[in-house]
Structure 1
């Protein structure tokens, strides 16, 4: 003798399977949305660092134009604003985190720097400084020149 196993109606089984599928699809959608948000933030941080590097290159070019026209680079006291006053730059850009770029001349080197996301010296990851330096010579009249 065989005992028969009670069976659920097919429509009830399909309904339960459909609900389980919707639940899994919804959960998967939430996971994908979270992954998208994380990837957008990572890409946006990389884009900010790239923009800072491009800005530093543009400032370097403006410094070289200024040096060619005026036979010297701005002193640290004059700062980068002199590039705007002498029309080597239209406007002085802020870094992607809305901080001013730093300009220093030390030991025969010009150093241009963004302090990164934290706005403080040093750091790691998105907080790391972005720097561009190039050598200069000092003229007899005291102004640095490349």
Structure 2
């Protein structure tokens, strides 16, 4: 019988206090963690854009022109007899937020853009557009 008397458990109030403390700590840390995630995705977008630019330069070297679309870096381009033999990119590029990169070609010039977290033109913070011209900085 003495074993039963010595057993102590946590009361409901003690459990609620522990949960409130854990919730408070999570509320303080969560914004910092999501901010770091967005910062990492922005850096990843810049890295991906550099890889796409390198693939565009290789395509230009082989074909003497830039491709009409980024899909021509993945699948053979009928307008370029010296394409490949391996694809310039393994798969169609998507930015870290799952949006398509914006690619426009005008003769011997091109622009490549990542539209940021919101996937729309303009914006600020993590929604700001990243252009191929910004990568030189």
- State the TM-score, normalized to the length of structure 2: 0.69
The question of 1:124 aligning with 2:114 is answered: no
Per-residue deviation, residues 70-107 of structure 1 (Å, max 9, x unmatched): 12111xxx211111114111112211121100111359
TM-score (norm. length: structure 1) = 0.66
Could you tell me which of 48, 55, 66 is aligned with 2:41? 48
The number of equivalent residue pairs is: 111
Using the TM superposition, give the Cα deviation of residue 32 of structure 1 relative to its aligned residue in structure 2, in angstroms: 2.4
Q: Could you report, residue by residue, the CA deviation over 1:25-54 in whole angstroms, capped at 9, with x for unpaired residues?
A: 875543322121111100100011111111
- Greater C-alpha Rg: 1
Once residues 133 and 107 of structure 2 are traced to their aligned partners in structure 1, the CA distance between those partners, rounded to angstroms, is 12
Q: CA deviation at 1:110?
A: 2.1
Q: Which residue of 1 aligns with 2:5?
A: none
Match of 2:70 among 69, 77, 80: 80
Structure 2 portions without partners, runs of 5+: 1-12, 77-86
Q: Counterpart of 2:133 in 1: which secondary structure?
A: strand
Stretches of structure 1 lacking an aligned partner (at least 5 in a row): 1-18, 135-146
Which residue number corresponds to residue 99 of structure 1? 99
